[in-house]
Amino acid sequence: NEIQALQITRQRWTGAAMAVGITARIAVAALLYGRYRQSELGNARLTQSRDELQRLHKALVDSSAELARVAHTDALTGLPNRRAMTDLLEARLRRARGSGRPVAVVLLDIDRFKAINDEHGHLAGDEVLRQVATRLRAALPAAAEIGRWGGEEFLAVVDDCSLGAAREIAERLRAALADQPLDITGRPLAVTASFGVASLPAPSADA
């Protein structure tokens, strides 16, 4: 009986030890799994934060680019404004002085623009400026840049262009405006402009 009792006691202790071991293993496994899940969640949060930072950075870059575009664009005509054209002209002049490659400018002023505003109203005057800008852009070489210089004035900058070629471009622009009236609120309106041209390097005496 004593031997049987010892065997039973030993079995009980063995069972208890096994139960404790299993419980410990389960606890360790649960702890490891919890840490793994925390690590996964941490990685997910890190990835989410990184994605959010990238999204915010892109939005900031896009906003900066849009602000720069707006700051250099004439709101009425969609052409580069005086600030943008000044920067462009200065860069082209520096290049021309350094390389000797010619650059030309064509400046034009719409004739009697104040009278257009007085007789037809400022909304009609705005439409004249928009349509003039469209015609000028279409008549220029693809490599030329044109912007609104101020009021009713427009400035074109043409690379690798001699004074003689600039005069031909000015004539082309003059014809683009004068040969066909503009359509302002269903009414034809004849518009002309006065032009001036210059080039760098300066032409020789026989040019």
From 152, 153, 168, 171, active-site residue: 152
Distance CA 132, CA 181 (A): 11
CB 80 within 8 A of CB 145: yes
Distance set, CA 202 to CA 29, 93, 107 (Å): 86, 12, 17
Strand partners, 158: 104
152 is catalytic: yes
Distance set, CA 85 to CA 18, 48, 162, 190 (Å): 86, 43, 20, 27
Strand partners, 145: 157
CB 145 within 8 A of CB 156: yes
Provide the annotated active-site residues. 152
